[in-house]
């Protein structure tokens, strides 16, 4: 584990940081559905990050990264990141609040809807090829030529820590209401949310003498995290194919050890199962979520024998979907 996380193994230090971050974030609601619970044979509690600022959990990691830059260092000349949409949108939005220039490197085939959102939030877009190496090299060039600071979407300690605040809020609210969670489920792509959730849950379990398990859902067509988790080394996708565009990326050297240590399992779901999860939440809870968001819920619907009679928190990671040009799969 990266040395950055050592002070935050102290629950008081971690909780203080999350209280500081809450000043910049929405406290998103937690919803449940009797009909979904009955159908799945579980008690499900959905942490609705689709109602977060910028429409996704990404604002949590970005807020912590910028908090540290401003509190602990000098204000940067500018910030840069690569993103297929949500991280870039969150970064642009947060940068604008602090009068910091923001550049987002986005794949040429990224959603026009999400590119428009980044521009509307005040970010500048530089396009690149869709592969991860092109993204990385474009960001590196900007940092070298412009002196900007990179805020990585998933493999930066401050970002990972910030993402864990969603699970901490979920566990805190459930604890207050005497709801004893057995599991928390997250989607997994780059691994930032999974690692942040795993870290936060591991600290929570120690101070509350609980045994909440963290699992992740991943598309079959972009199964590198699944293969990595069970092989013990970072695996790669040559040509990921899934409607969940935000989950086509890969794990990093910082988040992977945390995932290995703190997650209980990773499960695979098909695009059809992802779409079914999206539709079910729209029909039953009237929630608009992205395809990137659906996998952990789809896992519970699929693996009913594993999760029967369990009490499960699901992080609904975002709701930035282009309703005009989507078959519930943006």
3-state percent helix, strand, coil for the chain, nearest multiple of 5: 55, 15, 30
* Contacts of residue 64, Cβ cutoff 8 Å, sequence gap at least 6: 17, 21, 158, 159, 161, 162, 165
Q: Which of 53, 58, 115, 213 is catalytic?
A: 58
Annotated active-site residue 261? The verdict is: no
Contact 121, 103 (CB under 8 A): no
Backbone phi and psi for residue 44, each to the nearest 5 degrees, phi listed first: -110, 135
Could you give the maximum distance between any two Cα atoms of the chain, in Å?
57
Q: In Å, how far are 241, 262, 279 from 89, measured between CA atoms?
A: 23, 29, 25
**H-type alpha helices, the chain:** 11-22, 34-40, 58-72, 86-97, 112-120, 132-146, 157-163, 165-176, 192-208, 224-231, 255-262, 271-285, 295-302, 304-307
CA 315 to CA 214: how far, in whole Å?
11
Q: Which of 84, 111, 294, 330 is catalytic?
A: 84
Contact 300, 320 (CB under 8 A): no
CA 174 to chain centre: 20
CA 219 to CA 257: how far, in whole Å?
21
Residue 49 is given by DSSP the state: G
Annotated active-site residue 84? The verdict is: yes
Which positions are annotated as active-site residues? 58, 84
């Amino acid at each position: 584990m990266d040395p950055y996380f050592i002070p935050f193994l102290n629950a008081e230090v971690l909780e203080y940081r999350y209280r500081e971050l809450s000043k910049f974030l929405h406290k998103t609601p937690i919803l449940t559905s009797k009909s979904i619970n009955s159908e799945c044979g579980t008690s499900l509690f959905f942490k609705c990050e689709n109602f977060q600022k910028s429409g996704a959990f990404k604002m949590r990691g970005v807020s912590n990264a910028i908090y540290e830059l401003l509190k602990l260092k000098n204000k940067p000349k500018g910030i840069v990141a690569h993103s297929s949409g949500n991280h870039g949108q969150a970064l642009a939005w947060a940068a604008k609040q602090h009068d910091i220039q923001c550049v987002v490197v986005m794949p040429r085939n990224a959603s026009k809807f999400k590119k428009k959102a980044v521009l509307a939030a005040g970010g500048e877009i530089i396009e690149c090829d869709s592969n991860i190496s092109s993204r990385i090299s474009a960001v590196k060039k900007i940092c070298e030529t412009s002196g900007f600071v990179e805020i990585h979407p998933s493999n930066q300690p401050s970002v990972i820590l910030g993402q864990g605040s969603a699970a901490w809020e979920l566990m805190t609210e459930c604890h207050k209401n005497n709801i004893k969670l057995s599991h928390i489920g997250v989607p997994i792509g780059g691994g930032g949310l999974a690692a942040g959730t795993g870290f936060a849950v591991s600290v929570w379990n120690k101070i509350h003498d609980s045994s909440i398990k963290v699992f992740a859902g991943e598309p079959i067509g972009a199964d590198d995290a699944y293969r990595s988790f069970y092989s013990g080394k970072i695996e790669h996708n040559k040509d990921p194919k899934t409607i969940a565009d935000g989950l086509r990326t890969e794990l990093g050297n910082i988040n992977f050890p945390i995932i290995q240590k703190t997650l209980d399992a990773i499960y695979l779901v098909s695009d059809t199962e992802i779409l079914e999860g999206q539709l079910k939440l729209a029909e039953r809870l009237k929630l608009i979520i992205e395809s990137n968001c659906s996998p952990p819920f789809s896992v519970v619907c699929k693996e009913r024998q594993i999760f029967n009679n369990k009490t499960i928190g699901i992080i609904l990671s975002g709701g930035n979907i282009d309703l005009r040009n989507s078959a519930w799969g943006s």
